[in-house]
Amino acid sequence: MKIESTPLEGCFIVKPNVFKDKRGFFYETFNQKTFKQVTGLSVNFVQDNQSVSSYGVLRGLHFQKGEMAQAKLVRVAQGKVLDVAVDLRKNSPTYGKHFSIVLDDSNNYQLFVPRGFAHGFAVLSKKVIFCYKCDNYYNKASEGGIIYNDATLNIDWHLPQEDIIVSEKDKQLPAFINRV
């Protein structure tokens, strides 16, 4: 497994070693020992989630607040997404900046999104199976978000606006400058 830094401190790209033969392929999706050696972070994942979405679906930008904040390791089991992390740590030099990467079932890359970040993804393939490990349990009372098309963040989701499908709940999320 190769782990690379992103421009956002604490946010990492995880590139697995993929072993292929005539039967198919195999790769290790996470190794705590290797992750800690490279990043210095000890993460204890306690919840795994999976979603299935179709082309144009945009989920995000979501986060958990306070002591229920979550770090996530996200990946695509099938399909292709544009994955986005936004630094919400007010004392960070990259506060309000975002990082995006294409995750798909060909590159098998993963993105580690630390606590204190908002996260979202847009589906670029016909269908996607999206998987994420979390280091804290989901808590409805602690959820927060930022509207996907926030003018301050100015995220290019790699989709035509008319193709974007957003939940009614996500359409009501506040702008970055108004977030709680």
Let me know: does 16 contact 108? Beta carbons within 8 Å: yes
Residue 2 lies in a domain: no
pTM score, whole prediction: 0.94
Q: What is the mean pLDDT of residues 139-147?
A: 96
Residue 124 lies in a domain: yes
Mean pLDDT score of the chain: 95
Total domains in the chain come to: 1
What are the pLDDT digits (tens) for 33-77? Answer: 999 999 999 999 999 999 999 999 999 999 999 999 999 999 999
Q: Is 62 a catalytic residue?
A: yes
Q: What is the reported pLDDT for 179? A: 65
**Looking at this protein, which amino acid is placed at residue 99?**
F
In a domain? residue 79: yes
Full residue range of the structural domain in which residue 138 is found: 45-178
In a domain, 17, yes or no: no
**Percent with pLDDT over 90 in the chain:** 95
| Largest separation between any pair of C-alpha atoms in the chain | 53
105 and 27 Cβ atoms separated by less than 8 Å: no
Catalytic residue among 98, 109, 119, 132: 132
Residues 135 and 115: their CA atoms lie apart, in Å, by 9
Domain assignment present for residue 119? The answer is yes
Residue 178: band (very low, low, confident or very high) from pLDDT cuts 50, 70, 90: confident
**Which CATH number does the domain housing residue 145 bear?**
2.60.120.10
pLDDT at 12 over 80: yes
Judge whether 70 lies within some domain: yes
CB atoms inside a 10 Å sphere around CB 83: 25
Average pLDDT over residues 93-122: 97
Catalytic one of 62, 95, 109, 137: 62
